[in-house]
Amino acid sequence: MARNFYALTGQPVDAFARNQLVPTRWSHIVHVHVVPELDQDATFVAAMHDVAARYDEQDGPLLLVACTDTYAELVARHKDELDPRFVCPSVDYDLLKQLNDKEQFYNLCGDYDLPYPETKIITRAMYDSGVAITSPFSFPVMLKPTESVEWQGINFRGRKKVFTIHSQVELNTIVARIYEQDYSCDLVLQDFIPGDDSHMRVINAYVDQQHHVKLMSVGRPLLVDPSPAAIGNVMAMLPAYDRELCDLVQPFLEGIGYTGLANLDLKFDDRDQTYKLLEINMRSGRSGYFLTLNGYNIAEWLVRDYVTRDLDQTNTVYAHDDPRRAYLWLGVPRHIFKRYTPDSALKNQALTLIDQAHVGTTIFDPHDFSIPRWVLLHRLFFGYNKLYKRYFAELKGNLKEVEANGN
């Protein structure tokens, strides 16, 4: 997000966080201000008052953009307490809680006839009662928490962002481990949709203050992160023009009164030839620079909505309608992409873009170069060699098991 704003304004961006992350170290385009315990309510409100005072002599609004689930929730919960100069492109807190809770989210999907995977809800009360928790779907199945923010504070051996469960014994074991850690919310047990990463779609959207969708972009993931803590995070993506898919999702975003950035994950189910909505993130995704790389800087939509206030006069943009402008976005080194992405026509298209130098990453920016930063980022990228070597075979093994079972 900082790179987007720097590309638009040419000015460094101030970021406030609980700790410093590797991709922002020694950066010239983002100044990171570390605030210990910024993820706590009282600290967050106090810190934002200090931020407002820092800009006391600056005219105009202060645009506050959340870049993680935790900060998105804090902004939504406390935006009425912040300095009135802050403008917060985010949903109301009540809607955020609905969308963050996967059970309520899927209920909303049903209200708008949006397909989603077959689902069973597992509650804390079911576990405490000792009732047998069984799967109505054939194994393997997916298991994930309904509440992503609370889940970030849960730690135990074998913890994952999402679990692929292979047997009844494993289901019993994982559910017990989760609830023994005092996780209070429900769990979602879902039918496993077969297919590799090319079956996935990512929609990035911007919805203005009047709840009108002003930008929709469809991406086709080619490779995802296989590690337990980040499984499913996109690591390689191509742009795709898909008006039909946009038309499926747009009425949902406008109907629920959404505001701000939205990042939605879907997967195509060959069994019934439908796209099924998996989740929504109320922020830009990790691969958010993919939009700017392909000619659609999301920062422009934010500024036009809240600063120049002329966005309401524009029509909805459905991105990537010109394949000649396509760029491949990568979150891993090129050799990792080439080695671990399954052979396909899409991979060949991506390799052609690499040969044409139509490829880019979020963190390697020629305008943000220094020797220490260059060394640090290359060490970060080098770490993906070990990560993929360790976890990729397990992830692909899960897919092969689904196909063997005929799901």
pLDDT band at 397 (very low <50, low <70, confident <90, very high): low
Q: How far is CA 84 from CA 48, 58, 148, in A?
A: 11, 14, 29
Question: Architecture of 197-404 per CATH?
Answer: 2-Layer Sandwich (3.30)
Answer whether the bond into residue 323 is a cis peptide, omega within 30°: no
**Per-position DSSP letters for 241-253, written without gaps between them:** --HHHHHHHHHHH
pLDDT at 318 over 60: yes
Q: What is the pLDDT of residue 402?
A: 45
Q: What percent of the chain has pLDDT over 90?
A: 84
> Who wins on pLDDT, 231 or 306?
306
Q: What is the pLDDT of residue 405?
A: 54
Q: Of the ranges 16-30, 99-113, 138-152, 163-177, which one carries the lowest mean pLDDT score?
A: 138-152
Q: What is the pLDDT of residue 2?
A: 94
Per-residue pLDDT reduced to its tens digit, 183-228: 888 999 999 999 888 899 999 999 999 999 999 999 999 999 999 8
Q: What is the pLDDT of residue 154?
A: 87
Q: Of the ranges 182-186, 368-372, 388-392, which one carries the lowest mean pLDDT score?
A: 182-186
pLDDT band at 157 (very low <50, low <70, confident <90, very high): confident
Residue 296 token pair: 């659609």
pLDDT at 395 over 80: no
pLDDT band at 400 (very low <50, low <70, confident <90, very high): low
Spatial separation of the C-alpha atoms in residues 61 and 65, rounded to whole Å: 12
Burial of 270 (0-12, 13-18, 19+ CB in 10 A): exposed
Q: Output phi, psi for 347, to 5 deg.
A: -65, -40
CATH no., domain 118-191: 3.30.1490.20
pLDDT at 326 over 90: yes
pLDDT at 182 over 70: yes
Arithmetic mean of pLDDT over the chain: 93
Q: Output phi, psi for 17, to 5 deg.
A: -150, 165
Strand partners, 218: 203, 240
Sequence ranges of the domains in the chain? 2-96, 118-191, 197-404
Q: What percent of the chain has pLDDT over 70?
A: 97
Per-residue pLDDT reduced to its tens digit, 37-87: 999 999 999 999 999 999 998 888 999 999 999 999 999 999 999 999 999
Q: What is the pLDDT of residue 180?
A: 92
Amino acid at position 315, single letter: N
Strand partners, 32: 15
